[in-house]
Amino acid sequence: MDTIFHEKQEGFLCAQHCLNALLQGPYYNAVDLASLAHQMDEEERIRMAESGVDSEDYKLFLEQPSGNMDDSGYFSVQVISSALKVWGLELIPYSSTEPAAIMAQNDPLQMKAYICNYKGHWFTIRKIGKQWFNLNSVLSGPELISDTYLSMFLAQLLQEGYSIFIVIGALPQCTADDVLSKNPIEPVKGQTSLTKPQGMSNVTSNTCRPVSSKEKISTNKPQEKIIPIKLEKNDEEDDENTELQRALQLSFEENKRNDVDKYLKLSLDFHDYNKKTNGSDDTDEDDDLRRALQLSLECATAPSTPESEDIHWRQLNHFGTYSRTSNGETSQKLNI
């Protein structure tokens, strides 16, 4: 990109930057363009004087400021056109009916360069080598414009109110043209910059970098790699987890035994209460039942065994409160 000549904006000297970008060299400065502007003002004054120096039109012309330049550094299209004539170049309005303009409208790639203007701001779009570049001085550097994007770029400029001129003629030979013909610019993938020349909406173009002839351009997309992540546990964490599980298991078993213990105690108390209330004479049967309840209570305080559940259900069935079906479900027993 260093081989492409590009002047950054200084004051209001965009006309100077535009011309030098087109010619690819520091061929003009503000003094040169001011001399051309004064020369054109003098030519216009001579033509107006032909109608009489005492005429109102001539007097009015002298009172008006120059239409070719001003103190800010603005220069008219006539000054730019006059500067290009030195190089045998000509400007034609893009929207005109000239044969070259119609050709450009149908296929902008057939031209060599364009000069654009909006409210006094000038910039150049030029083909260098086999590629197109936006050489606007308000940009940090030249920006690559793809062939497919060029027509859309010009169309957007027209929509934004820009005046576009086609440069007709042979452009002077430049070093950048020779270098980029052999080593074209490769757009850097995934990078875009939004440019907004004066009065123009944001437009997208690719940033660039030079590619040597020895450099291979790979079109393969980088493949994503999934790296497995292994979670490692240390020995201390394993011991702590094991001890915690044991503590929870013992707590669960202890609570279960306590619940059975409380229930059997309540069952025994309830049996004694019924015996006293009803005054039952079945002493032997009551004693057997009491011993069974006492035995169940003793078993409940010991570690759980498969027989403890059967004892629990036998006690419930004896009191006539619940009965257990063959499939293990419980149902309430009605005393009739």
Catalytic residues: 14, 121, 136
Structural tokens at position 51: 């109608």
Instruction: Give the number of C-alpha atoms closer than 13 A to the C-alpha of residue 307, restricted to the C-beta side.
Output: 7
Nearest to 91 by CA among 77, 104, 103: 77
Residue 74 in contact with residue 12, Cβ under 8 Å? yes
Instruction: Give the number of C-alpha atoms closer than 13 A to the C-alpha of residue 288, restricted to the C-beta side.
Output: 4
Nearest to 112 by CA among 125, 103, 95, 97: 125
Helix (H), strand (E) at residue 330: strand 330-332
Structural tokens at position 233: 């546990």
Nearest to 24 by CA among 108, 113, 86, 110: 113
Q: Rounded to the nearest 5 degrees, what angle is found at the Cα of 40, between the Cα atoms of 114 and 48?
A: 130
DSSP state of 207: E
Q: How far apart are CA 139 and CA 197, in angstroms?
A: 8
